[in-house]
Amino acid sequence: MTKKKFDLYDVMCMRLMILPFIAAMVLKILYTPASEGIQISGALVYWTIDMPLQPLYISEAQVNSVAVVLFVLGLALFLTHGLTVKPESKRQIIAEMIVEKVEGLVDENMGERFHEYGPLIAAVLAISGVSSLSSLLGLFPPTADVNIIAGWSIMVFALITYYKFKGGALNYVKGYFEPIPVFAPLNVISEFATPVSMTFRHFGNVLSGVVISVLLSTALGGLSNLIFGWIPVVGSFPILRIGIPAIFSLYFDIFSGLIQAFIFAMLTMLNISNGFPEEAYALRMQKRAIRAQKKKEREELAAKIQ
């Protein structure tokens, strides 16, 4: 690949990262109604598509989620462009460091059996983290929409159930009646409480940060007017909004968002790995191997008789 084509590929990756967020910001400006005073609301609804059962609402959270996914895709393509056997560029060093850290995290918390889950956990970390950080651009963070987080949690719940069935359907059903049958209703509730708790933990922490940031900014505006309102020209400018909200956003928009992404990834790893019945699966595989061996012996015996 020539240097010109190489650089063109990089430019396309950068555009893939930047343009979706620019489009999301333009949509927000166009669809945000004029208002005065404090405004705390959910995601804006951009379009409504008529469907047989009920209307399909295309909201700000969905649009911003697409922008986040395209950003992560562009970043992954950029970091993995021009890979060589021996790292020669900073981007490849960064990419290899990310892969090594995530794989180490997966091996430590899930075990070698789930080593291939590295890409999934990396995607969860990246999409969740970037979604929360998108609020720094003035966008509605997708992680502040319960429907977005619920979709992630349902995916995790499906994986948990899939691995629980690895021990056999009978073993899965029997688990609801342990340690004694009377606990069956509580075990059923506990099973479905996992995705619910994951959803509201992540959603609640991110949304609370958004609400507190809006309340703080509004309060500082009122306090600035109260203190400096008597000064001509200067009094009409919200002086206390300069700098102070940015300090609090270091926690609410950056630290808290990244921590929640890490917690969600950790819960994903632990719930999936803990749901896997190691002993029941090993016993099931042993019985399957014995049946396969007996079948092979019967086939060999039948062949000899013929």
- Chain-centroid distance of CA 79 in Å reads 20
DSSP 8-state assignment for residue 59: E
Rounded to 10 deg, the angle between the 60-79 and 118-133 helix axes is: 130
Joined together, the tokens standing for residue 24 give: 């999301």
pLDDT of residue 214: 72
pLDDT tens track for 144-154: 888 899 999 99
pLDDT tens track for 14-70: 999 999 999 999 998 888 776 555 555 667 888 888 888 888 888 899 999 999 999
Residue (of 255, 204, 201, 244) closest to 221 by Cα position: 244
Q: How many residues does the chain have?
A: 306
205, 253 Cβ separation under 8 angstroms: no
DSSP 8-state assignment for residue 177: G
pLDDT tens track for 255-286: 888 888 999 999 999 988 888 888 888 888 88
Enclosing H/E stretch for 94: helix 90-110
- Chain-centroid distance of CA 201 in Å reads 13
Calculate ∠ Cα 299-305-306, nearest 5°.
Answer: 90
Residue (of 226, 223, 228, 227) closest to 245 by Cα position: 223
Residue (of 82, 72, 34, 60) closest to 210 by Cα position: 60
277, 164 Cβ separation under 8 angstroms: yes
| DSSP H helical ranges for the chain | 3-31, 60-79, 90-110, 118-133, 146-164, 169-174, 184-228, 244-249, 256-274, 278-305
| DSSP H helical ranges for 175-250 | 184-228, 244-249
238, 225 Cβ separation under 8 angstroms: yes
d(CA 53, CA 142): 25
DSSP 8-state assignment for residue 157: H
Is pLDDT at 233 greater than 90 in this prediction? no
17, 74 Cβ separation under 8 angstroms: yes
pLDDT of residue 230: 67
In one-letter notation, the amino acid at residue 296 is K
pLDDT of residue 239: 67
pLDDT band at 158 (very low <50, low <70, confident <90, very high): very high
- Chain-centroid distance of CA 232 in Å reads 49
pLDDT of residue 24: 92
Joined together, the tokens standing for residue 71 give: 């950003």
In one-letter notation, the amino acid at residue 170 is L
pLDDT band at 246 (very low <50, low <70, confident <90, very high): low
- Number of other residues whose CB lies within 10 A of the CB of residue 84: 8
d(CA 262, CA 54): 35
pLDDT band at 165 (very low <50, low <70, confident <90, very high): confident
Beta strands in the chain (DSSP E): 45-49, 56-59
- 3-state SS, residue 160: helix
